[in-house]
Structure 1
Amino acid sequence: MPTHDATAAVPKQTRPTRPWDAFARPRLALDAFEHLVGGVGTAILSLIMLLWVTATAVACLVGVGLFLVPSALRGLRAVTDRERARLSQWGPEVIGPEPGTGPTRLRDAIADRTTRRELRWLVSHASVGLLLGLVGLTLPLTAATNATFPLWWRLLPEGEATDSLGVITVHDWPSAFSVSLLGLGWVAVAVSCEPVLAWLQAWPGRRLLSPDAGTDLALRVTQLTATRAAALDAHATELRRIERSLHDGTQNRLVAVNVLLGAARRAVERDPAGADAMLEQAQGAAEQALAELRQVVRSILPPVLADRSLTDALAGLAADCPVPCRIDAGVPTRCAASVEATAYFVVAEALTNIAKHSQAEHATVRVRRRDDRLLLQITDDGRGGADESGSGIVGIRRRTEAHDGTLELTSPPGGPTTLEVSLPCGL
């Protein structure tokens, strides 16, 4: 028996429509108009820069322009960086070269592929980009002029009251309203064409000012190399911390237990009462050694993370913090164990720093999961002025970057201090 699609049988006009869909295209046209306005601004800068580059090139024929090349190249890079920033506000980020890495000599500029691409964009944007921007600005103005024509046509001298194209000459009210109807047509044209004009204006910039195909991969390899080194450093630091904890604490306790047991053994026959006291001391030292060993093990990977959740582990940290701390955690699902351990370390180290240095009266830890990222925000109302020169912040950054995460520290003098960490959640 043939199957029947029930949704296909529903007439298209009977399906529910959202009332705000009708405003989607006007909003898109308005955004495109704003984009075109910014494009006209950079196009004017490009035209000025093109004239300066042309004058420099002509002056180079007689040798004088060689002194102007560095300033022309810096101006070119400044204009292209401004366009990259503009394009990044309206779509995918356009990554430019590192600041201060551009060529400063004519020979280097000719050989530099990025500079040649920037020159091609300069010519395109100063000509076609400027033209598209002016057309994009003219369409809404024309539409508004014609649509509102009945409101002010009587103010024009007789014989000069015409529409924007001069097709309709207005002598009476009916012809004035016909211009207004023509203005509504211009509104439809503007709404339809503005996004297209904005895309055409931005296309050369996205094509010529973006890095080459292999650049992103090279940057990613460099970043991964740096994070791998940070992971190794963090691992080595953690091993040294564990070694110091075992050597300075647990090992000394066990040595004391061994000494006390030896002394008690020798004193059993001579002084049974003294031997009993030594055994009691040995038992106390053994219990302290076990407690310290348990603390070292918990610092490697807190059992509460495996037994319960990250929220419960952070609640335990807040309870032990000398500064009153509130935990605001909204993590409905579990993350990878290594990510949760890193988040635990970050919060633990941050709360330790707050207790030692901030003179804060209250702290807040906020944890959220957004898409595939775990976001941590630790805030305190202390004196502020924190920087990354302290070993605690350096350790947090190394741990974070080892997991391909990011860290931002905001701590103006007088406070408050905010530490924001973003970690990939893993699988």
Structure 2
Amino acid sequence: MPDSETAGDTGRGVRQYLRHRTRVTVDALEHLVGGLGTAVLALAAVLLLVVVAVACLVGVGLVVVPSALQAVRSAADRERARLSRWGAALPLPPPVPAGLRAALRDPWVRRDTAFVATHGTAGFALGLIGVSLPLSAVQYLLFPLYYWLVPPDAGGPGFVDWRIDGLPDALAVALIGVGCLAVSVALCPRLAHLQAVPGRRLLAPPRDVDVSLRIAELTATRAAALDAHAVELRRIERSLHDGAQNRLVAVTVLLGAARRALARDPVVAGEILDRAHDAAELALAELRTVVRGILPPVLDDRGLAGALDGLAAGCGVPCTVDVDVPGRCAASVEATAYFVVAEALTNVARHSGATAAAVAVRRDGDRLQVSVADDGRGGADEGHGSGIGGIRRRVEAHDGRFTLTSPPGGPTTILVELPCGS
């Protein structure tokens, strides 16, 4: 029996590892494809700069220098937006200065120019290598399915130039595909990281600008935290005033009526006491609801995964939950993630018209990523009082990031990133 349990644990471990590696490789491939697209734009900007520089030597290129610098800024901003989707946000720079001399002295412009030169060459090469590896692997792996359509003397795909006389030779080509696939799994994440390094270093604000931006960002998030705290206090006060307080007032009135009726009509007094008892139970239920709204005890009892499973079970729309968070995060972070999912699922059940929803929670380094998606009608707008604004304020109070994607016709996806420590 212990041997079978050990084998089962080993099998689960292998499956989890394979799922993890597959997810990491697919994410890296997606990063490389996006980076290849921005590298093409950067390469075009570099070629434009070269043409303008040559034209300046003969005195006719000075008038188009501002346009060339604007093209460089556009290419750099595309990469800023791409990198911000996959990690820490890169703030957008101020507009390119109007004067030629001021533009050439601007540190943002110099960093953008250095970036397009690096990303348009090295980033382009890394993207091509990263994309070609899995494509070559697929080509080699599928060769046994169509080798008979290729003349034997034509060889196989890629660098396979020897004669293919039958299925054994085709299977040998497929083995090359297995090797390419293994190389892709091992190298694609590293290539994606290397491709992003120039953007992370060169497109970040200069140090003095970064400090001022960070101060402004912290000021804004502090204000958001205070607003979220004030909104939460108002919600608690309203819940206590409209719920538990009214119930307790009713208990007091009923107890007074029961005391007055006790001497003259004990039967009526007993009925009034029963009503007072029911009102007291309702008041206790209201108080429990308010307490759970402050910090759900289910998080301590069952952890984030169990708490979200409970939310999904109580949702009016069929909902799946996938939580991959090793260990525990800070209590405030888990509470925020819980409330984000709770509010999002409430919106799904009330407003979306969806037939299915999915919740996914991942921990990526020091970031907790929460995704809530549904297949409803879309068109969600935080300005229409659907609770999305409250979600945004709660997330920003934790210095997190909130993204809503909800085109008309659906689907709707809420993405939240929260800092959770290393």
1:42 maps to 2:45: yes
Q: How many residues align?
A: 312
1:244 equivalent in alignment to 2:238: yes
- 1:318–1:270 Cα change, 3 Å: same
Which of 395, 406, 411 aligns to 1:416? It is: 411
Deviation at 1:254, TM superposition (A): 0.6
Aligned partners of 1:207 and 1:49: how far apart in 2? 26
2:75 is aligned to 82
- Contact 1:120–1:208 at 8 Å: present in 2 too? no
1:113 aligns to 2:106 (yes or no) = yes
> Take 1:119 and 1:344, find their aligned partners in 2: how far apart are those partners?
40
1:366 deviation in Å?
1.4
Residues 73 and 249 of structure 1: CA distance in aligned 2, closer, same or farther (over 3 Å): same
Residue in structure 2 matched with residue 302 of structure 1 by the alignment: 296
Whole-Å separation in 2 of the counterparts to 1:357 and 1:46: 51
- Contact kept in structure 2, 1:85 and 1:94, CA below 8 Å: no
Q: Contact 1:268/1:275 (CA < 8 Å) preserved in 2?
A: yes
Q: CA deviation at 1:278?
A: 1.1
Quote the residue 1:320 is aligned against.
314
User: Which residue pairs with 1:405 in the alignment?
Assistant: 400
**Is the contact between residue 84 and residue 96 of structure 1 (CA under 8 Å) also seen in structure 2?**
no
SS class of match (1:383): coil
Q: Is the 8 A contact 1:39 1:129 kept in 2?
A: yes
Within 2, Cα distance between the matches of 1:309 and 1:380? 24
User: For residue 338 of structure 1, what is the aligned residue in structure 2?
Assistant: 332
Partner of residue 211, structure 2: 217
Deviation at 1:394, TM superposition (A): 0.8
Any idea what the Cα deviations from partners look like across 1:264-284, whole Å, max 9, x if unmatched?
111112222221111111111
The alpha-carbon deviation at position 95 of structure 1 amounts to 5.7
The 1-side partners of 2:235 and 2:98 are apart by 48
Aligned AA for 2:71?
A
Kept after mapping to 2: 8 A contact 1:49/1:76 = no
State whether residues 381 and 417 of structure 1, in contact with CA within 8 Å, keep that contact through their aligned partners in structure 2.
yes
In 2, are the aligned partners of 1:94 and 1:206 still within 8 Å (CA)?
A: no
- Match for 1:403: what amino acid? H
Match of 1:426, SS? coil
Q: CA deviation at 1:306?
A: 1.2
Residue type matched to 1:336 in 2?
A
**2-structure distance, mates of 1:53, 1:119:** 20
Alpha-carbon displacement from aligned partner over 1:178-198 (angstroms, at most 9, x marks no partner): xxxxxxxxxxxxxxxxxxxxx
- Matching residue's letter, 1:76: L
Bigger drift between 80-89 and 416-425 goes to 80-89
Q: With structure 2 as the length reference, what TM-score do the two structures score?
A: 0.63
Q: How far off is 1:307 after superposition?
A: 1.9
Counting aligned pairs with the same residue, the percent is 55
Task: Give 1:57 deviation, angstroms.
Answer: 9.4
CA distance in 1 between counterparts of 2:397 and 2:198 reads 37
Q: TM-score, normalised by structure 1?
A: 0.62
1:347 CA drift (Å): 0.5
Shift, 1:355, TM fit: 0.7
Are residues 276 and 54 of structure 1, via their aligned partners in 2, closer, same or farther at CA, if it must alter by over 3 Å?
farther
| Residue 390 of structure 2 is aligned to residue 395 of structure 1 | yes
Letter in 2 for 1:327: V
Instruction: Determine which structure has more spread, i.e. the larger CA radius of gyration.
Output: 1
Unaligned runs of 5+ in 1: 1-30, 60-67, 137-202
Pairing 1:201-216 to 2, within 5 Å after superposition: 211-216=205-210
Residues 80-229 of structure 1 correspond to what in structure 2 (within 5 A)?
A: 80-82=73-75, 98=93, 101-105=95-99, 109=103, 113-114=106-107, 117=110, 211-229=205-223
| Structure 1 residue 116, shift from structure 2 partner | 7.4
Q: CA RMSD in A?
A: 4.1
**SS in structure 2 opposite 1:102?**
coil
Question: Post-superposition shift, 1:395?
Answer: 0.8
Query: C-alpha deviations, 1:60-102, integer Å up to 9, x for none?
Result: xxxxxxxx6xx75354232244257579989x99968535x33
Unaligned stretches of 5+ in structure 2? 1-32, 126-196
Which amino acid in 1 is paired with 2:51?
I
